[in-house]
Structures are given as structure tokens and as C-alpha cells.
Amino acid sequence: MAEQTIACRYCGGHNVIYAGKNSAGNQRCKCKDCKRIFLLTYTHRACAPGVREQILEMAKNASGVRDTSRVLQVSRNTVTAVLKKKGHR
């Protein structure tokens, strides 16, 4: 049996335990260091780590909302919401 070490997506620690499953049946993990819960696999692509940063990077490079949503395979509403939320800074 192979053992897989899981790193926390927030703090990078390896002190991670399984914490049940969510309503969609995906495995939840809890970091004992920072006490945060995260998923190993996400149902929706927009929730995956790094997608919001990619949206902002594409906006900086003058990609439109439709182009960004097509390339990243997320909804146009998601792209617009991320840009509105980060636009105030």
C-alpha cells in the first residue's frame, strides 16, 4: 500500500488528516497546523486553487471576459465577480 503525503494548500504543512466528505462526496482534509479545511478534488473548476489568480493575470494582459472564461473553462459571471471584487484595490 502506497502512502501519499498531502500538503496544506494554505500553509504548506504536512500535518493533514482526513475530515470526512462533503455533500458531493469529495474527500475533505483538515490541516492540524492552521486548522483550515480544504478539498482534494473540486466539483467546480472556479473553486480550484489558482484559478482566481489566472483570471487576474489574464485581465492584466488585456484578455476579455469571454476569452478568459473560455480558456479557463469557468462561467463569465465568475470572471466578472472576481474582477469586481479585486478591482477595488
Domain boundaries, the chain: 1-43, 45-86
**Cβ atoms within 10 Å, residue 1:** 2
What is the pLDDT, as a whole number, of residue 1? Answer: 54
Distance CA 69, CA 67 (A): 6
DSSP readout, the chain? --------TTT--S-EEEEEE-TTSPEEEEETTT--EEESS-SSGGGSTTHHHHHHHHHHTT--HHHHHHHHT--HHHHHHHHHHHTT-
Please compute Rg for the chain using Cα positions. 16
* 33-83: pLDDT as tens digits: 999 999 888 777 887 788 889 999 999 999 899 999 999 999 999 999 999
